[in-house]
Amino acid sequence: MKLLLGRASVLLFFALLFVFGLFIFTAKYVSNASAWAHYPTNQHLYAEGKLVSCGNIYDRRGSILCQVKDGEVKFHTDRAVRTAVMHATGDLYGNVMTGARVAFRERLSGWDMINGVYSFHKQAGAGRDLTLNLDADLCSVAYGELSGRKGAVGVYNYRTGEILCMVSSPSFDPETPPDIEAEPEKYQGVYINRFLSATYTPGSVFKLVTAAAAIEHFDNIEHILYHCEGGLQVGGDVVTCHTVHGSVNLERALACSCNAAFAQIASDLGAGILQEYAHAAGFNTSLEVDGIRTAVGRFDASDAVGADLAWSGIGQYTNTANPLNFMAYMGAIANDGVRITPRIVKDKGIFSLINFSAVEKKRVLSSETAQRLKRMMRNNTISEYGEDNFRGLELCAKSGTAQVGGDKKPHAWFAGFLDRDDYPLAFVVVIENGGSGASVAGPIAAKVLQAAVQ
């Protein structure tokens, strides 16, 4: 009897071990199966490190951005277009992690947890294709306008969330990849989609966040005057302006981008309120765009006092902003304070879990504050940027010339939206070390937006 009991418990021990092992395997399978199936040595999907068994990638008009023909990966027929959308499609070898060929590889390979990668034989291509919201020709215009300068351009529909334009520079022709190591400066960060994955000091475009806080915290803000003598003494430091602006109200201060006025406003508001409005505007969090997380722009004024606090309200100090995230804030101002999350993928397909998510909305400003900011941004164009430079666009915008220290040129920002029902488009242009926001990034925005409404 004792012997029998002993043997039974040994058996029970192994049975439990087996069940435990099975449990571990199942858990591992569920979490890692996709990565195993898509490992580049899987010859069902890959040849010489290139994903060769996959569906086509189309733009919103049905142009083929990427396809596999006779085992060869082919991109768009026009070299300029395929270079412009390289960060959207991804390159041959999957170096661009946010490119569709990597980010949406399950969809493109027809992979699912039950059938693995063999399922595509049954589907015969159907369901594996992927249509992006991008307009390839618009991307090409935007990339051309950057003319070799590093930076990013984005345009999206602030009512539907569709991203029409997403370019990042530098880029390259994915069919003839260059020797990147031979020219490290030219191709610095070339595998990064700067629109999604980079952050930059925002400079004066951040004044829109500070202005939102001022509108809601100061009574009769339109009657408050700020005095600029070319700068403002804050503590032992001086916050400088590029010229003497005299007496300005909030609207005028935003239009002429008076640092002295915004230094005063930031000091009066205090770090806590600025922090709250920065958070609402999308700082310190990332947006999830079809499963891709954007880089996090930072705003931390918690330890800032005196001039540091003043500079933080002007988008300097330690502030950083992600271009896509900031564009979404522009969209929120345009859309009565409701931010629609931007989206890259047009058709979600029947196998993907993300296809059930409807348009994702979040109120980030009150409707009244959004309306006031919109009027002020419209005034910026009329009184400063020149309506003639943006003819017919009903442009609402803010420029930014973000100081980056040292002897480097500032980052040039231009962001905003069109106040048009037929073209509800928000945009952002950032040129790394490009110089003045209004005169360098502004004309690029004008060209891209005119192309978008044609």
Note the residues at the interface with Zn ion (CB under 5 A).
228, 241, 245, 258, 260
Closer CB to Zn ion, residue 311 or residue 326? 311
Residue 244: both structure tokens together: 């003497």
Q: Provide the minimum distance between the beta carbon of 232 and Zn ion in the complex, in angstroms, as a whole number.
A: 8
Closer CB to Zn ion, residue 228 or residue 255? 228
Q: Provide the minimum distance between the beta carbon of 186 and Zn ion in the complex, in angstroms, as a whole number.
A: 38
Q: Provide the minimum distance between the beta carbon of 308 and Zn ion in the complex, in angstroms, as a whole number.
A: 19
Paired sense of beta strands 57-58 and 130-131, if any: parallel
CA distance 452 to 394: 13
Q: Provide the minimum distance between the beta carbon of 259 and Zn ion in the complex, in angstroms, as a whole number.
A: 6
CA distance 420 to 163: 17
Closer CB to Zn ion, residue 247 or residue 367? 247
Q: Provide the minimum distance between the beta carbon of 245 and Zn ion in the complex, in angstroms, as a whole number.
A: 3
Closer CB to Zn ion, residue 312 or residue 325? 312
Q: Could you report how far apart the first and last alpha carbons of the chain are, in Å? A: 90
Q: Provide the minimum distance between the beta carbon of 430 and Zn ion in the complex, in angstroms, as a whole number.
A: 24
Q: Provide the minimum distance between the beta carbon of 311 and Zn ion in the complex, in angstroms, as a whole number.
A: 14
Closer CB to Zn ion, residue 166 or residue 438? 438
Closer CB to Zn ion, residue 75 or residue 262? 262
Residue 315 CA, chain-centre distance (Å), reads 18
Residue 239: both structure tokens together: 């916050």
Closer CB to Zn ion, residue 163 or residue 205? 205
Phi, psi (rounded to 5 degrees) for 325: -60, -40
Q: Provide the minimum distance between the beta carbon of 209 and Zn ion in the complex, in angstroms, as a whole number.
A: 19
Q: Provide the minimum distance between the beta carbon of 316 and Zn ion in the complex, in angstroms, as a whole number.
A: 14
What contacts 386, CB < 8 A, 6 or more positions away? none
Closer CB to Zn ion, residue 260 or residue 301? 260
CA-wise closest residue to 191 among 90, 119, 292, 333: 90
Closer CB to Zn ion, residue 205 or residue 258? 258
Question: Between the CA of residue 241 and those of 153, 262, 386, 410, what are the distances in Å?
Answer: 28, 10, 21, 15
Q: Provide the minimum distance between the beta carbon of 252 and Zn ion in the complex, in angstroms, as a whole number.
A: 10
Closer CB to Zn ion, residue 257 or residue 381? 257
